[in-house]
Structure 1
């Protein structure tokens, strides 16, 4: 995955991602921590949709 999604994935077990087609952007949110001794943080990222390699969902949605 491209940055910043790769960095977010390394710090969290799961992530929510929304496509914003009217703005050609995506928004990702997760909760994670850089190290077990560090506090949990709410992490967010926004980027251009064309920079995100998307694959169709298995259920066709």
Structure 2
């Protein structure tokens, strides 16, 4: 996924954290939006792949 997509996702996550009352500028949350965006990219990276192609290469 693109860097722009990750930046947009991180901004949305920061908005969610703000809406639930979190201080997104405190030390424990400063990098959380970026970490969540990166983890979502990792967890969903196979959604656009064809399972049969993956099985053929196994």
Report the TM range for the smaller structure's normalisation.
under 0.3
TM-score, length-scaled by structure 2: 0.23
Normalised by the length of structure 1, the TM-score is 0.22
Structure of higher CA gyration radius:
2
